[in-house]
Structure 1
Amino acid sequence: MKMKKISRFSSFIHIQHMVFFEVSIGIIANLILLLFCVLIILLECRAKPADLTIGHLAFIHTMLLLNMVFIAMDIFGYQDLWDDITCTSVIYLSRLMRDLSVCTTCLLSVLQAITLSPRSSYLAQFKWKSLLQNPCYLLFLWVFNMIINGRMLISTVATPNVTSNSVMLLTTSCSLLPISSFLKYMFFSLMTFQHILFIGLMAVSSGYMVNLLCKHKRQSQNLHSTSLSPRASAEQRATWTILLLMSFFIVMYTLDCVIGSIFSILWNNDPFHHCVLLLVGNGYATVNPLVLISSERRMMRCLIFMWGKDSR
């Protein structure tokens, strides 16, 4: 029995290190990507319509991972500073950033589908409009998600000392108070509608991009030409990057939902399993900037441009 406790404690320490390592890598990568997007937009150094969305996604993931540090500290036993205001702020920001991540990822997929669409298609008319209206879309996503997550503002409290069946634990120190059935079903319906809508749009736009890439490949084979124009090849590389991120997002989103449902039933308040959920839940926010940075050739070109401009 004692050996089992020692082994479990050792596993818990290892998973703590894994959580903080993942969060640290994710924060650094997202800050680098965010800084790059800000410089690209401010300097107008070969900016693209998706740059603002990518920068927005990097900002959201940075905030999400920073917020996860507080939740991880709560799980690991640092519960002294938690009160109602702290719980409300941390839980609300966590839910808000997670939902904004879903919506912004969907917007990035749709923008790439518009960029890749041929001139003869219906989507071609949105190519220049998307660049101008992108900030409006992002503002709408913020307002929409702030309303949907309003429940967290009115019902999140520090976990009371007296246990109650009506209180649902969110973390070790934070709980969710019951609300009226009408508000409960209203918020649940809005959240379900949001996830179905945006993940559905993500799937449709990804399928559209795959179809366009397959058509382009068949046309290239029919023309017996292996060389593509630099513009076409750059757009295709960006499209494959977005498709890779969409696939990874769907996998991690599904794992998060399945594992979260199983753990909430079998191990509702087990710190070890909360850590596993943190690792899975933060996977996309950590991998996303690494994939985008590794596929971004403009980063080096922009640095060379800035260096040449300063040397004059």
Structure 2
Amino acid sequence: MSSLRIVINFQAVLGVLANMFLLVFYIFIILCHRPKPTDMISCQLAFIHIVLLLTGSDIWLRDIFESLNIENDFKCKTTFYINRVMRSLSISITCLLGVFQAVTISPSSSLLAKFKYKLKKYMISAFLFVWSFNLSFTSYRIIYSGAFTNMSETKQMKVTKFCSLFSMNYIIRTLTLTVTFSRDVFLIGVMLATSAYMVIILFRHQRQCKHLHSLSHLRASPEKRATQTILLLVFCFVIMYWVDFIISHTAVLLWMYDPVSLNIQIFVMNVYPTITPLVQISSDNRVINMLKHIQSVCHHIFRKR
């Protein structure tokens, strides 16, 4: 196994464990405490990233499918479809996270203030739309992916050891690429717009609070910390998305994938779902306080023994 493949597997294990911890934490908060409006979004994002990392690193799934005696064609179609759906959901839910945080911190005098008290209602509708759109739009991947066959290489492009993409009609390919690119540009545009809006609000808030509070109090603001976290996540996502976009679409246009570029793309694609939970864990006071409480309980138990 190449050193890059070892790094990818370590990255996937780290990302899955961190996201599972975050998923359990948010489920606990939603069921047993008073969740913030963005907690439901972060919970979904953790679940999406777990599935994305599992389907992106097909070594684990290959072993599962082989133990269940499932044929390669079904395995390829399933993993490729789910992986693409999760990639689409990752950008959509990240965009939602930025929008809802912008609404949450918006001042009462702004136009967005009227949506503050209806966030839960709009959130459920947004979730239903985002999931249904991505599940239906990405369904064409089921038709144009499958197990590697003996047909000529001009009609298929090998993307893993066992799976390949089949060539599409020029009109279908152009249409799907156009819709995908338009959707992604729109979502990234919304992310950047909401990020700029949040930066402006934070800057204004900081200027106003300088006259009323100390800078240490301002730094401790939960709203500011949450906003800074989301700004960092959006920044990381935009960079990683465009690197992944360039690699994958260059391969599709040239109709050529080599193992090195595939591994680099998987590594780049897995960076965002791996660092997201780590950033959220390190910046959420509730997680930090819970870990400190668990540590103190464990310390107390061991002292008794």
TM-score range, shorter chain: 0.7 to 0.9
2:260 is aligned with 1:248 = no
Aligned with residue 121 of structure 2, among 123, 132, 136: 132
User: Which piece of structure 1 moves more, 134-143 or 295-304?
Assistant: 295-304
2:231 aligned partner, one-letter code = L
Q: Which is further off, 293-302 or 59-68?
A: 293-302
What whole-Å deviation, never above 9, does each CA across 1:87-118 have from its counterpart, x for those lacking one?
11011011100010000000000011011100
Q: What SS does the corresponding residue of 1:282 show, helix, strand or coil?
A: helix
Q: Which residue does the alignment assign to 1:29?
A: 18
Q: Which range is displaced more, 237-246 or 123-132?
A: 123-132
**CA distances 1:205-253 after superposition (whole Å, capped 9, x unpaired):** 00000111111122233x2642576898110010001101111111111
SS of 2:34 mapped into structure 1: coil
Quote the Cα distance in structure 2 between the aligned partners of 1:263 and 1:168.
9
Q: Which residue of 1 aligns with 2:301?
A: none
Relative to structure 1, is the Cα distance of residues 112 and 34 closer, same or farther in structure 2, using a 3 angstrom cutoff? same
Give 2:225's aligned residue. Answer: 237
The structure 2 residue matched to 1:288, chosen from 276, 301, 304, is 276
Give the Å deviation of 1:73: 7.7
Counterpart CA distance in 2 for 1:256 and 1:269 is 14
Residue of structure 1 in register with 2:207 after alignment: 218
Contact 1:149-1:187 within 8 A present in 2 as well: no
Distance (whole Å) between structure 2 residues aligned to residue 35 and residue 73 of structure 1? 22
SS of equivalent residue, structure 2 residue 81? helix
Matches for 1:136-215 after TM superposition, within 5 Å: 136-215=125-204
Task: Please list every run of 5 or more consecutive structure 1 residues that lacks an aligned counterpart in the other structure.
Answer: 1-11
Deviation at 1:71, TM superposition (A): 6.1
RMSD after superposition = 2.8
Name the SS of the counterpart of 1:268 in structure 2.
coil
Question: 5 Å matches for 1:45-60?
Answer: 45-60=33-48
| CA distance in structure 2 between the aligned counterparts of 1:177 and 1:259, rounded to whole angstroms | 18
Return 5+ residue gaps in structure 2 as ranges.
298-305
- Offset, 1:57: 0.2
What is the identity percentage for the equivalent residue pairs of Structure 1 and Structure 2?
A: 36
- 2:125 partner letter: C
| Structure 1 SS opposite 2:221 | helix
Q: Which amino acid aligns with 2:228?
A: W
1:91 to 80, 89, 114: 80
Q: Does 1:271 align with 2:251?
A: no
- For each residue in 1:164-199, what CA deviation from the matched residue of structure 2 results, as whole angstroms up to 9, or x when unmatched? 312233333222223444433332232122101111
**Matched AA of 1:270:** D
Q: Distance in 1 between the 2:131 and 2:121 partners? A: 18
Measure, in 2, the Cα distance between the counterparts of 1:55 and 1:224. 35
Structure 1 residue 38 corresponds to structure 2 residue 12: no
Cα distance in 2 between the residues matched to 1:275 and 1:254: 16
AA matched with 1:280? V
In structure 1, give the amino acid aligned to 2:91.
V
Greater CA drift, 110-119 or 181-190: 181-190
Q: Secondary structure at the match of 1:120?
A: coil
The code of the aligned residue for 2:72 comes to D
1:71–1:171 Cα contact (<8 Å) kept: no
Question: Aligned in 2, Cα 1:224/1:125: closer, same or farther, shift over 3 Å?
Answer: closer
Please identify, of 252-261 and 141-150, the stretch whose mean Cα deviation from structure 2 is larger: 252-261
Counterpart position of 2:96:
107
Residue 121 (str. 1) matches residue 83 (str. 2): no
